[in-house]
Structure 1
Amino acid sequence: MKLVIVTTVPETLATILRGQPKWLAQYASVICVSSSGRMLENVRENEGVPLEEIGMCRGINPIKDLTSIFRMWKLLRKVKPDIVHSYTPKAGLVTMLAAFFVGTKVRIHTFTGLVFPTSVGLKRWILVWVDRIVCAAATHVVPEGKGVAADLQKYHITPKPLRIIGNGNIAGIDINYFHPDKVDPVDVSGKRAFTFGFIGRLNRDKGLDELVTAFEGLRGSARLLLVGGLDESAPISDDTYHKIKSNKHIHELGFMDDVRPALAACDVIVLASYREGFPNVVIQAGAMCKPVIASDVSGSNEIIEDGINGWLVPPKDSQALAERMNCVMELPEEELRSLGRSARARVVERYDQREYRQQLLAYYRRAALEACI
């Protein structure tokens, strides 16, 4: 079985999908495709499978997109894969169209989150139709979670059957790697205080405006760790950026290849996103016995059960977020630990990487078999 896996940028292969192509290579001939980037060689070294470079831009750019589709068409025509599987929006558009024109029998696209529900005007219309084109060209559409599936149906993106692999997510989690006993916390200057953490791209849709505003309004002594690089495609506001830089209790740690030390240093993780597909950081935090305060949006609310392994707050509501953060700071230490233990137990039960990979392989085999009938 020849399998081509495509992501828009190599960071997806280097982080979320890390080790998955290498594992699949035991059962299939695997080729990965992504744009250039600083992590491309990292992927090549870690996965040990052929890696092709095809430029794909994240924004709307018809000329560059046509060039990418043509280059992908040439590659797929040469490789003649049995299955192509794309992740992330632009990789989906480029790969599904190229694979359709080549005639690849099994064309799978996974929606890891939808952008158009939080967009407006012409941009929203364009994004809706791009997703519809991707689905029309694909033979199999995989939503990352129930919320993504519901939106695909609600907005009539595709009439095709939608099937979530496993319990959601696109890779599962290595529960032995993400274990609280196997890593020391990152060293943060200053005296010990209750520590909140954010891990992800510093992107306006991640709710950084609300998080920083809520943090500034806390009653007690606390600190906030921010892990992730600034997202130039959708940056946080200048006002929020200034607040981050000027607040001595907010610590920017930048992008970290290994986020476990940052997770270990936190008491609670906060993800105040406006939208999500199926957030990896919530699963990673849970595996590290860290409860999460998350926006009540699709994906996050599929993982978090309020008061059991974390808490849910309305999105775009800095006051409600501040109230929850204040309440959490006042909880007895043993109650926090109990929530953390519940979080890990849920991750082990539902999102073990080993089980996910077996289900993914079964999905590929079934799709390939059905294509031959």
Structure 2
Amino acid sequence: MTQPVLLVVTTVPETLNTILRYQPRFLAQALTDSLEVRIATSPGPGFRDVQDDEGLPVHPVAMARGMAPFRDILSILAMIRLLLRLRPAIVHSYTAKAGLICMVAAWLCRVPVRIHTFTGLVFPSSAGLRRRILMAVDRLICACATRIVPEGLGVKTDLQRHAITRKYLAPIGHGNIAGVDTHQFARGQASVTAAARGLATRFRIPERAMVFCFAGRLNRDKGIGELLQAFEVLPENCHLLIVGGLDTTAPINHDEQSLIAKHPRIHATGFMQDIRPALQLANILVLPSYREGFPNIILQAGAMSLPVIASDISGCNEVIKPGLNGWLIQPRSTSGLHAAMLAACHCPPATLAEMGARARLIVQSHFERSMHWRNMQAFYYAALPSQHLIEAPIGVSAEAAVPASLTRRPPASRLPSA
């Protein structure tokens, strides 16, 4: 019998080149006796890197970020053609647009198991017509999926509170979609320390400076406006390292871009393939987002023994505990952010070191990458359709039974329910 196919889908290659890097390759090896793993993502920058890193077949399906209904129809048609050719047993999509394209196409093609992971919700921070459209899209994704995975408990709560779906919801493991390799993300490695010194030299950051680091796309929902305002009135020994490229779909405004470019103590690195030197140079990570799913950057920072100042929102507040490994502030609050940053400035180095040590222990015990990958392996064993079920190998704790909804196909004449 031909081996069933697991198709992993993301909107753009960047997700596979950063957060999910090497996860498909691990799954292909771990599931080699039961599933053939393939990938679909948009062609463009980074596409060939995915092929090189994962060593798996990668299929190009163009998908546009943001609202683009006519292009989305073309993407759905392209995804249908791919699904009819591969006939996968399981499709698993990550990120919003991939979820829309993949779940609709997979439902139309009657793929037996259709999984979507919500890595964050946009509608809670939106308003008006845009909010209603985004909620409708999320309901459609849930209606077409047989299994919905919220990245964290906060995402699960929002999906339930806003009646997006009545289907079963549960994060995988402790949440997050990738985990962190705490051996790779460890403070003090010689090559990383040397690269951090290079950054300090490049930006003329004094050795005893207090360095705050923001890492992420320069998107208007990341709270960068509040961060810049809060930073400007901090003491002169403070520096701000901004890591990430401009998000063209929802960029920060021109004044904010100009301030980043001109301020003598604000240093923009652009996108960094390896973020560890920036985290090594920093004393504190700052993430004042309005919304998140379960941000990987706070786990990476924790693994690097960095305390974190973050918004009290889903994902962030599932990891950051005030006074233990960082500070939580109200989103959109410049004054609250400034107070937390000032408190960090006045913290004795020994206290910051203790907070950083606790942050690393939390990541090691709950979010180690190898642990998450094993959880993913068990998840897919449990999700296999009944005609492909095999006994999970020793050491893999699969779910006790596969819900009937995973294997039952909806009638062709009726739309699926959310």
- Scaled by the length of structure 2, the TM-score of the pair is 0.88
Q: Give me the whole-angstrom Cα distance separating, in 1, the residues matched to 2:5 and 2:182.
A: 29
- For the residue of structure 2 that corresponds to 1:321, the secondary structure is helix
Kindly state the Cα deviation for residue 245 of structure 1 after the two structures are TM-superposed. Answer: 1.6
- For the residue of structure 2 that corresponds to 1:187, the secondary structure is helix
- CA offsets 1:60-110 (integer angstroms, 9 cap, x no match): 122111111111011111111110000000100100011111111100000
- For the residue of structure 2 that corresponds to 1:181, the secondary structure is coil
2:215 pairs with 1:212: no
Matches within 5 A, 1:1-373: 1-26=4-29, 27=31, 28-182=35-189, 183-184=192-193, 185=196, 186-188=198-200, 189-190=203-204, 191-192=206-207, 193-368=209-384, 369=386, 370=402, 371=406
- CA offsets 1:89-134 (integer angstroms, 9 cap, x no match): 0100100011111111100000000001111111111110000000
Q: What are the ranges of 5 or more consecutive residues in structure 2 without an aligned counterpart?
A: 387-401, 409-418
- For the residue of structure 2 that corresponds to 1:335, the secondary structure is helix
Q: Give me the whole-angstrom Cα distance separating, in 1, the residues matched to 2:128 and 2:70.
A: 22
- CA offsets 1:218-265 (integer angstroms, 9 cap, x no match): 135210000000111111122222221221000010000000001000
Q: Give me the whole-angstrom Cα distance separating, in 2, the residues matched to 1:297 and 1:94.
A: 28
Q: Is the 8 A contact 2:116 2:145 kept in 1?
A: yes
Kindly state the Cα deviation for residue 30 of structure 1 after the two structures are TM-superposed. Answer: 0.9
Q: CA-atom RMSD, angstroms?
A: 1.1
Q: Tell me which amino acid in the other structure corresponds to 2:354.
A: S
Question: Where does structure 1 differ by over 4 angstroms across 4 or more consecutive aligned residues?
Answer: none
Q: Is the 8 A contact 1:174 1:354 kept in 2?
A: yes
Cα separation, partners in 2 of 1:372 and 1:319, compared to 1, 3 Å: closer
- For the residue of structure 2 that corresponds to 1:98, the secondary structure is helix
Out of 264-273 and 216-225, give the one that drifted further: 216-225
Kindly state the Cα deviation for residue 365 of structure 1 after the two structures are TM-superposed. Answer: 1.1
Q: Give me the whole-angstrom Cα distance separating, in 1, the residues matched to 2:9 and 2:166.
A: 24
Q: Give me the whole-angstrom Cα distance separating, in 1, the residues matched to 2:89 and 2:366.
A: 30
**Number of residue equivalences:** 373
Q: Is the 8 A contact 2:321 2:327 kept in 1?
A: yes
Kindly state the Cα deviation for residue 372 of structure 1 after the two structures are TM-superposed. Answer: 5.5
Out of 213-222 and 334-343, give the one that drifted further: 213-222
- For the residue of structure 1 that corresponds to 2:327, the secondary structure is strand
Kindly state the Cα deviation for residue 37 of structure 1 after the two structures are TM-superposed. Answer: 2.2
- For the residue of structure 1 that corresponds to 2:111, the secondary structure is coil
Q: Give me the whole-angstrom Cα distance separating, in 2, the residues matched to 1:142 and 1:54.
A: 23
Q: Give me the whole-angstrom Cα distance separating, in 1, the residues matched to 2:61 and 2:45.
A: 14
Q: Tell me which amino acid in the other structure corresponds to 1:131.
A: D
- For the residue of structure 2 that corresponds to 1:180, the secondary structure is coil
Q: Is the 8 A contact 2:113 2:407 kept in 1?
A: no
Q: Is the 8 A contact 2:215 2:297 kept in 1?
A: yes
- CA offsets 1:20-64 (integer angstroms, 9 cap, x no match): 000011113111000122111111100000001110001212211
Q: Is the 8 A contact 1:220 1:326 kept in 2?
A: no
Kindly state the Cα deviation for residue 169 of structure 1 after the two structures are TM-superposed. Answer: 0.3
Bigger Rg, which one = 2
Kindly state the Cα deviation for residue 330 of structure 1 after the two structures are TM-superposed. Answer: 1.1
- For the residue of structure 2 that corresponds to 1:25, the secondary structure is helix
Q: What are the ranges of 5 or more consecutive residues in structure 1 without an aligned counterpart?
A: none
Q: Tell me which amino acid in the other structure corresponds to 2:199.
A: D
- For the residue of structure 2 that corresponds to 1:38, the secondary structure is coil
Q: Give me the whole-angstrom Cα distance separating, in 1, the residues matched to 2:290 and 2:72.
A: 27
Q: Is the 8 A contact 1:197 1:266 kept in 2?
A: yes
Q: Tell me which amino acid in the other structure corresponds to 2:14.
A: E
Out of 217-226 and 74-83, give the one that drifted further: 217-226
Q: Tell me which amino acid in the other structure corresponds to 2:18.
A: T
- For the residue of structure 2 that corresponds to 1:107, the secondary structure is strand
Q: Give me the whole-angstrom Cα distance separating, in 1, the residues matched to 2:164 and 2:127.
A: 17
Q: Give me the whole-angstrom Cα distance separating, in 1, the residues matched to 2:50 and 2:99.
A: 20
Q: Is the 8 A contact 2:148 2:169 kept in 1?
A: yes
- Scaled by the length of structure 1, the TM-score of the pair is 0.98
